[in-house]
Amino acid sequence: MNDLRIVALDPASPTFATDIQRWHAVHLASVTHGRADAAPWRLAEVHDMVATPVPYRWCGAWLALRDGAVVGAALLETPFVTNLELANVFVDVVPSARGAGVGGALLQVLEDAARSRGRSIAMSEVEFGLELPEDGAGSPDVRFAQAHGYDVALGDLQRRLALPVDPALLDRLAAEAAPHHAAYRIEVVRGTLPDAYAAGYAALASRLAVEAPAGDLLLEAEDPSVRGWREREATYARQGLTLWHALALTAGGEVVAHSTISVSVHDTTLCHQWGTLVRADHRGHRLGLAVKVANHRALQADGEPAAEITTWNATVNDHMVAINDQLGFHKVGRTVEVQKRL
């Protein structure tokens, strides 16, 4: 591998726009190899992550070149507010260059950079097909992670759903849930959250990482502040994302459940179901189903945002999986979340 050269991308460089496009081309080639239902990052999102400084995290990107050709790409993300021991690491190698040490060399660069930034835990994700078992046994990418010291900490299933959802199905599900949440009001917000809901939403959403099944992942709750949420809203707007929030509110206006869908101006094929969470002391009223159904109804009333929607759930998250099954989501792939003590 003496001919392998790894270079850090510099957002101030006049070649950055081209460099990040090359990075993204490797990412696409890697994650879609053998996976028609993969959901790669969009170019606008990666460009912003690396190029735009934000108060809540740092992101850096690297390219691997061999004989002048780009054969690998890597990204490192380190949070600034919570999870201060954590580094998220991502490595992609073009299929034709795999098995030649490119991925290992990139991973070493990421881990060294993570240590230099004071991080002691590295986490990543590995995707593979449904034909393999939940732990990824038989996946070359899982073998790669384990060979470099990463342990499988959580198994997830990726699902997709064709849009629009049958309105009759949404009406039926809403009617089934309604008698159980009569004491609550369901409201859907497109785009920026009003100040009246921002604090409650930020506090609730910050708990998702620790209240959803997390297996052995060493995670803390995220930043619950309104300022932190507004910073993220600004990021999503720069990246061309519109968020749809369905909120369950008490009679006093307190946010006690939410479900969020993101729609990209850059992608008419796929939108994403993000987090759904009901506060622990308000569970048992079918609020999870209610907010998901309300969001789909509002989204479709505004038009068809994409051909499909995708989501991930921990395989042990029986309640949320059951709701997604009711909506018609079907399995398309598996993911394992892996971690390593640096």
- What pLDDT, in 10s, does the model give residues 160-218? 999 999 999 999 999 999 999 999 999 999 999 999 999 999 999 999 999 988 899 99
Which residue from 330, 334, 315, 310 is spatially nearest to 128, judged by alpha carbons? 334
User: Which helix (H) or strand (E) is 271 found in, with range?
Assistant: strand 270-278
263 CB-near residues (< 8 Å, 6+ apart): 241, 242, 243, 244, 271, 299, 305, 306
- The structure tokens listed for 253 are 């206006």
Cβ proximity of 133 and 315 under 8 Å: no
Place of tokens 């380190």: 78
What whole-number distance in Å separates Cα of residue 62 and Cα of residue 313?
A: 30
Alpha-helical regions (H) of the chain: 16-31, 43-51, 102-116, 140-147, 167-177, 195-205, 208-211, 226-238, 287-301, 318-327
Per-residue pLDDT band at 2 (split at 50, 70, 90): low
Kindly report the pTM of this predicted structure: 0.95
Tokens linked to 256: 């006690």
**Structural domains in the chain?**
4-119 (3.40.630.30), 160-341 (3.40.630.30)
Q: How far apart are CA 261 and CA 270, in angstroms?
A: 11
Question: Phi-psi bin for 286: left (phi > 0), alpha (psi -120 to 50), beta?
Answer: left
Instruction: Say whether pLDDT at 139 is over 80.
Output: yes
Q: What is the pLDDT of residues 253-287, one digit of tens each?
A: 999 999 999 999 999 999 999 999 999 999 999 99
Question: Considering only CA atoms, which of 88, 85, 86 is closest in space to residue 75?
Answer: 88
